[in-house]
């Protein structure tokens, strides 16, 4: 969606111009949007934990809802409030239809800590019938193709562009997700929901057999796990003032023997052990340059 483009109500009024009303709601009066229930995006434990650490400050900002109690923004706070058995929450209520509410929800969840691209596209695809009907209404209003219920190819492209715009993604990403829903292994789709893999990479893998899709996913997750472990161990290594003496402190210590090359340059390369399957040696760019200079 372009910066100057605004979401509009079914009557054509910009949704940003619709004013909300501050209300206090009982928790049992609030509920997720039907599309949210259908596609089940989850609130992570870490997100709930971070909110809980804020105490009452977590509920400083009101939830954004429709007048009938559909939650548009604030699912994590609602979940936390239910866990804490709070009785009421302060909300801002808007008069919106179900389709307008979904567009509003998608707009609010484009921020960095909101729903990922894959989840927003899944939700936005629920707007397809609404956009198609909107196109047919425009046809009838313009006196074109009276009585026709079919959309032209150009109009179908317009619907695709509308859905992509609502999700805040490119039309290409939307097309890939529609193909992924049909061709991707369920575990691959699960990884997409969790944001553990990009849409493009999953789309490339979806052209493989189900078995090979799983192999690529497992390799990808293994490599992510190794990188995460390395970052953690490096942070721990830097934080320690004195390494454990029983472990090698440098590549020089590890390789040094009566027959090995004696070099102070090797002592400048730190070594850390990680407990992962396989046999790997990971080198930083500087470490690799040092070893190349010794070889020369």
The predicted-structure confidence for 131-141, as pLDDT tens digits, reads as follows: 888 877 776 76
**Which positions ≥6 away from 29 have C-beta within 8 Å?**
69
Query: SS3 for 291?
Result: helix
- What does the pLDDT read at residue 254? 56
Dump strand ranges (E) for the chain.
21-26, 31-32, 63-66, 70-73, 88-94
User: How far apart, in Å, do the first and last CA atoms of the chain sit?
Assistant: 55
- What does the pLDDT read at residue 132? 87
In terms of DSSP bridges, do strands 31-32 and 70-73 run parallel, antiparallel, or are they unpaired? parallel
- What does the pLDDT read at residue 29? 95
Name the DSSP letter for residue 248.
-
- What does the pLDDT read at residue 143? 60
Question: Which stretches of the chain drop beneath a pLDDT of 50?
Answer: 1-5, 9-11, 241-245, 258-260
Dihedral sign for Cα atoms in the order 94, 98, 101, 103:
negative
- What does the pLDDT read at residue 241? 45
Rounded to whole angstroms, the Cα distance separating 73 from 11 reads 23
- What does the pLDDT read at residue 142? 62
Q: How far is CA 116 from CA 112, 113, 155, 238, in A?
A: 8, 8, 27, 33
CA nearest to 254, candidates 264, 267, 265: 267
- What does the pLDDT read at residue 245? 46
Residue 270, number of CB atoms within 10 A of its CB: 15
- What does the pLDDT read at residue 4? 37
């Amino acid at each position: 969606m372009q910066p100057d483009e605004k979401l509009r109500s079914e009557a054509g009024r910009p949704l940003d111009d619709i004013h909300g009303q501050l209300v206090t709601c009982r928790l049992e009066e609030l509920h997720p949007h039907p599309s949210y229930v259908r596609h089940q995006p989850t609130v992570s434990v870490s997100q709930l934990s971070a909110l809980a650490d804020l105490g009452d400050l977590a509920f400083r900002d009101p939830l954004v809802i429709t007048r009938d109690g559909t939650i548009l923004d604030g699912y994590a706070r609602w979940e936390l409030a239910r866990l804490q058995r709070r009785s009421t929450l302060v909300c801002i209520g808007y008069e919106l239809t179900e389709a307008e509410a979904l567009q509003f929800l998608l707009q609010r969840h484009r921020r960095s800590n909101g729903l990922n691209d894959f989840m927003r596209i899944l939700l936005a695809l629920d707007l397809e019938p609404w956009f198609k009907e909107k196109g047919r209404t425009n046809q009838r209003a313009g006196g074109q193709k009276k009585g026709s219920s079919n959309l032209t190819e150009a109009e179908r492209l317009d619907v695709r562009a509308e859905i992509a715009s609502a999700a805040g993604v490119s039309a290409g990403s939307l097309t890939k997700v529609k193909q992924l829903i049909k061709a991707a292994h369920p575990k691959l789709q699960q990884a997409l929901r969790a944001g553990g893999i990009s849409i493009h990479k999953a789309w490339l893998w979806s052209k493989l057999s189900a078995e090979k899709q799983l192999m690529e996913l497992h390799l990808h997750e293994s490599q992510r796990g190794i990188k995460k472990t390395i970052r953690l161990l490096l942070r721990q290594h830097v934080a320690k003032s004195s390494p454990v003496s029983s472990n090698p402190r440098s590549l020089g210590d590890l390789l040094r023997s009566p027959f090995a090359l004696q070099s102070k340059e090797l002592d400048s390369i730190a070594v850390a052990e990680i407990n992962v399957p396989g046999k790997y040696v990971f080198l930083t760019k500087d470490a690799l340059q040092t070893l190349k200079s010794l070889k020369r």
